[in-house]
């Protein structure tokens, strides 16, 4: 390579102002989800920026006015050199009326070494640094041997899985880096799946019949769906405690596998016995678990509860798991991502971090979730690494450190250069 890495890293420092301006530009696009359906202008800007770098652009609507953008920078020797996906989401957390922002969530402020605005930490900072890294490589005339596939996706904040849509469209690579909020740690993640458990009576009864259901000799084989759901909730708590005792994963606090009874809906009127009850649960599981196996465990446990109850034995609970969107069908899946510390890509990323920062790298598990799990689900080795802290993500007056943003850009640029210049085994 005609340009050494020190020259490229110095270029990031020299173009810090450009990096700040780029992030402020991205923040100025109002892309909160919910309500969503508002990323069209921001994604057009992303596509235009990537075109200037010579990328082949693929843009398609996942939902109306919520398109995915994929820019592929073709390598000079793609058959023999590693390819890379750089992935981030353009949507940001919702903004509630009356929140005490200094100016406005989409009117960024640069002050005291920080950029303030919605999405600075989660995660337009990651997108801005990745874009500038690619521009600096391009401006120095560097033709990467391997392909770089840049994905700006929608819907992460509401479980609409723009990344999954990229997978379905056939995008794959030898490695993926999700540039979400990690405070410059390399992270995997546990998984999350939501589900609805429903208990339903085949017949509706007047409130006046309750005495015949609960007293000796009443002779009416009926039940309140709400009361039966209470038994299921108690049983889910027992399973949750069993998991806490029997399951663990390095880097995760004990008891991270949880079953949260988040929302309960049931009954129709005070004059009726509740003939239906629905429970919305959120399930967290470890990076080495699969959501299908976790769901099976829960369903088998609830089936055991039902088998021990005369009415539930006949009126079995039903289940609906996951969904396409928290704002369409009130459901979502975030698969787990287990980072392999011995994968060549992970080792190289760790080396780049340590070379640039001159500090040891931290490899850990995120306490939150992002789209990174969809790469693990597709069999694509991946890790999560980006600027910003989880404390700032989704917060009022959300902010990111400019110094950290610069460091992140250097690390990512170094990895892009070295990974796509390395030959496949």
pLDDT tens track for 259-293: 999 999 999 999 999 999 999 999 999 999 999 99
pLDDT tens track for 353-403: 999 999 999 999 999 999 999 999 999 999 999 999 999 999 999 999 999
User: Which pTM does this prediction carry?
Assistant: 0.95
Asked if pLDDT for residue 405 goes beyond 70, the answer is yes
DSSP three-state, residue 49: helix
pLDDT tens track for 171-194: 999 999 999 999 999 999 999 999
DSSP three-state, residue 106: coil
**Predicted local distance difference test score (pLDDT) of residue 221:** 86
Closest of 347, 319, 321, 380 to residue 178, by C-alpha: 380
Cβ(13)–Cβ(72) below 8 Å: no
* Alpha carbons 70 and 237: distance in angstroms, whole number: 43
Structure tokens at 246: 């029997």
* Alpha carbons 196 and 64: distance in angstroms, whole number: 27
The pLDDT-based confidence of 2 (bands split at 50, 70, 90) is low
Asked if pLDDT for residue 3 goes beyond 90, the answer is no
Mean pLDDT of the chain: 96
pLDDT tens track for 30-51: 999 999 999 999 999 999 999 9
pLDDT tens track for 89-147: 999 999 999 999 999 999 999 999 999 999 999 999 999 999 999 999 999 999 999 99
**Among residues 66, 122, 147, 156, which one is catalytic?**
156
Can you list the domains of the chain with their CATH numbers?
5-190+337-420 (3.40.630.10), 191-321 (3.30.70.360)
DSSP summary character for residue 121: I
Q: What percent of the chain has pLDDT over 70?
A: 100
Cβ(306)–Cβ(317) below 8 Å: yes
Catalytic residue flag (residue 276): no
**Distance, CA of 78 to chain centre:** 29
Structure tokens at 174: 């030898």
The pLDDT-based confidence of 1 (bands split at 50, 70, 90) is very low
Q: What percent of the chain has pLDDT over 90?
A: 95
**Among residues 66, 91, 122, 183, which one is catalytic?**
91
Asked if pLDDT for residue 308 goes beyond 90, the answer is yes
Cβ(31)–Cβ(90) below 8 Å: yes
Cβ(356)–Cβ(319) below 8 Å: no
pLDDT tens track for 201-260: 999 998 889 888 888 888 888 899 999 999 999 999 999 999 999 999 999 999 999 999
Asked if pLDDT for residue 414 goes beyond 70, the answer is yes
**Predicted local distance difference test score (pLDDT) of residue 366:** 96
């Amino acid at each position: 390579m005609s340009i050494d890495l020190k020259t490229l890293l110095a270029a990031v420092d020299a173009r810090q102002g450009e990096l700040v301006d780029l992030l402020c530009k991205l923040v100025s696009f109002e892309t909160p989800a919910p309500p969503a359906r508002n990323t069209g202008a921001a994604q057009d800007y992303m596509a235009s920026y990537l075109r200037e770098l010579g990328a082949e652009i693929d843009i398609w609507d996942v939902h109306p006015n919520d398109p995915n953008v994929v820019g592929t920078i073709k390598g000079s020797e793609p058959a023999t050199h590693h390819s890379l996906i750089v992935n981030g989401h353009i949507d940001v957390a919702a903004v509630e009326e009356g929140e005490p922002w200094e100016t406005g969530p989409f009117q960024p402020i640069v002050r005291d070494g920080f950029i303030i605005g919605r999405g600075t930490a989660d995660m337009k900072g990651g997108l801005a640094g990745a874009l500038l890294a690619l521009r600096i490589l391009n401006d120095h005339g560097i033709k990467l041997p391997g392909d770089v596939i840049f994905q700006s996706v929608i819907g992460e904040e509401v479980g609409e899985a723009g990344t999954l849509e990229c997978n379905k469209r056939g995008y794959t690579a030898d490695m993926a880096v999700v540039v979400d909020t990690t405070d410059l740690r390399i992270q995997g993640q546990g998984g999350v799946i939501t589900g609805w458990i429903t208990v339903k009576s085949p017949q509706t009864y007047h409130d006046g019949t309750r005495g015949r259901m609960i007293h000796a000799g009443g002779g009416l084989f009926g039940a309140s769906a709400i009361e039966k759901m209470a038994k299921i909730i108690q049983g889910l708590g027992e399973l949750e405690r069993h998991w806490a005792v029997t399951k663990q994963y390095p880097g995760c606090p004990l008891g991270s596998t949880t079953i949260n009874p988040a929302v309960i809906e049931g009954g129709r009127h005070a004059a009726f016995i509740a003939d239906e009850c629905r429970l919305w649960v959120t399930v967290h599981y470890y990076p080495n678990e699969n959501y299908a196996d976790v769901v099976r465990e829960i369903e088998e446990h609830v089936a055991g509860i039902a088998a021990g109850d005369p009415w539930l034995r006949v009126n079995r609970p039903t289940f609906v798991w996951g969904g396409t969107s928290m704002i369409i069908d009130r459901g979502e899946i975030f698969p787990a991502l287990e980072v392999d510390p011995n994968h060549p890509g992970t080792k190289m990323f760790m080396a780049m971090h340590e070379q640039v920062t001159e500090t040891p790298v931290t490899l850990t598990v995120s306490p939150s979730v992002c789209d990174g799990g969809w790469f693990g689900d597709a069999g694509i080795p991946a890790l999560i690494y980006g600027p910003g802290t989880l404390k700032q993500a989704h917060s009022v007056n959300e902010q990111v450190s400019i110094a950290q943003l610069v460091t992140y850009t250097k690390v990512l640029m170094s990895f892009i250069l070295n990974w796509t210049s390395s030959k496949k085994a």
